[in-house]
Structure 1
């Protein structure tokens, strides 16, 4: 019996020697070699047939003949079954071919990676190149070998440096290792100078994802110089992909963020904040607030007390994609309240977004809402029993502002207002301003396709018979031509402006552009918008048009399409939109559609969605679906398909990692829910202070759990998470008042408490309470955090640490 480490080492050596020396089960790996499509990707016969049916196939003249290389591994079935629940199911039932034939055929991984995987099952150890380990992690994930997957990822993280981050990103993307894909992409975004020093070998979509992310930690001009230094004919077109962030922004405090925007827009020349940016309606029986206090409440800059009754906030020129709420004060279970909202389109019907359930709500707790149908402009907080004590009211979600400086009497002639309408089930959007503009739009719309032009847009679509014969290539490519005016294209699109404005480009020399990555029907909708300023079509067409708009940087069109898609987006079509957005790399809509699937799985997954296997696995294995595992399994069984058990095996139980906006308090909650066994200070969190004023034991516990307001003068205070780590994203201060520009402070972090990383430094600017302060990312996970005041002082605050909290115990 293996009772000691030494015995286990001996056992591992014996089993390692047994690998390849016979067994009662055969693992067969089939690898295709020599078969490449025009883009150089090795494809199976099934993939070739699928692409042929869809019409998305390369030139047969560029394809090579298929050869299948088979590699066989003899293994012991009992060993596979003990490690892997998936293999255990395969072998324990005669229903499966694998059990009947005593073999499994693997076609989606390389023999080299499968061998490393199998050797681990024998030896308990794993090693290989960084790319091989990513692939092995994917195999471990597929076959649910729980010990192997994190081991591979740990080794990859240790070897991961910016110079190989793109290579790891490509492999992780190919094998759908989502966690490592995110880690590698994060390193590219953080260290672009090193990661993108040479042109990475990435699919165009991945390269476009990086360049167009708007997240690269470098200046736009420097990034363009880097891209152009790669050389190649597409340097300028790649540089044109570099994206500028959109006007939508996620915020934990909508009201306070609107106040920041008002302050930043030169408040002296604008209308008042209350009544123009936020309107307040105080219900009967409430305190009569003077104007200055009401303005602070409207901006969520001052605590307020709400008696039995209600208070209402209206956002005249902004809307919110609502996610939830938070209060800065603990609310007792005896207090009963509701939060109602109304959309910007339905001013009559209130939607119940949240209702208290006679449970105590700790301060800062995120309260997820019952999602309304659309964007929200009206919020009503209603107390039914008791009284809400002095508190801030945080509205969390995606803030969308329609006008940067609202309610000015004079609107600049260059501004364009967007109006969205729905008629006959087909969505359309128009850019309206004056009758003259409307007339011009009608004239230009009538010109499209009838009066010619000096530039030709050619769309090449490949039909399903492309691979049948190399002699039929020309016949199998459907060409659609649109004659357009070049000046119209250049006025809308900086990309076309560069193409047409320089003789260095073939497009300028030939007065034409050839488009092969979008359909002719979507390109026509896109071009008609350039003529008319209006867009309409099916939800599928609009997602594709949004992708075209992003590629050619037509800034007005992309958000317009996405707004229309959002209006049509319901749980029942969320999977379809998710698939389309993934196909065309419309990242924002992909995320929103996926979010809707997560939030409403009963409706979104009522019938089996037509998704690629990896997308379905992404959903089922996300650990984010808002339903129980048993309920999800019932949904899958309701599909009535043969692979129910395989699909059930994809369901991933949530890990011990959690996203939090208050890591210290999250740890306190875990301690409290665990029955407060032992002591919190010194076992969960340690507090280390600079020599000076002593804290009582109660104060130390409050500081360690972020449940006590703290005042810090010149000096420092340190937190040490004994059994947890944080993937750090940033910080926020919940304050009695704002941090003045005269206060200077730094926030340091460390993994082991020896070498400190400067995560944030104040820049002599006022910081509004609750503002998210993005940090300079440390190289790894963090266990030590130190808040250091250099000048002035921080008074009456909570210190919120934002990030992914991971616990080892």
Structure 2
């Protein structure tokens, strides 16, 4: 009987004596394989059938694989396809045809067929995504991977998300949608890193926004051979009080205000005062802030001495940094052009350094 199917198998059985051992295959698969040798039929569930088919391929018997491939072409459940692919993945030396059939079944409509692919092993899932990435848009793929995180919170999909999705081409609305979803499933940090990287590809990173603006201003003045006002054109300073006074300067208060804006002189604020910056031409995706001198932390009642806010429109403000908190992300979710620093309880004299990726427009 075995000779008719496979001379290789017949030779092994003949020389095995009374004991023929099969390694690495389940007893159900071995039984299905032997029944096929007797009947020529593969009547069992798909997971066992594909394992039996892979066993048959080792002995050069291709018929079981053809039966499985035909069943795949005629349609089978996604859970069966996932299970079959996992089994085929265990035997990399055989089963190329079956693996290809499973992949074709999944990639025919990847947005639908991969919705529950988080059930696959991480290694197989990585290989599958590498194949499917060109068939799914970044927005759709990001939402899919985030849905896997939601369904399987015990496994982190952060690395997978960062490896296979690019946020650089997304609109602000789509990015906002992804960012909200990511925050809800615990991957907000990963999306923040991805977005900052995407912005860095099209902007200029700087450790000091105000010094960067000064350099651009000087470059523009030299190019056009005329001096344009820095304050009012490149940057606006808006004090909270009409009584705000810039530091003393030999050339008068207007020059002092300009040098505060360029981070040449310290910004000085009395308790309760605030200063707002507005960038008419540029925006920045903030990745951190610091000061040139130590900043007082909190007052006895626990309130912060200094707070920094950011805004994209000058109406809605987000807390960017607080002296009352040790752990703070200091990152903006979007490009911003407004900043506000508030000296709440004590005199403030310092330089604010804003780092991030600057964009024109």
Q: Structure 1 length as normaliser, TM-score?
A: 0.21
**Which gives a bigger RCO, structure 1 or 2 (Cα 8 Å, sep 6+)?**
2
Which structure has greater helix proportion?
A: 2
Q: Structure 2 length as normaliser, TM-score?
A: 0.41
Structure with bigger gyration radius: 2
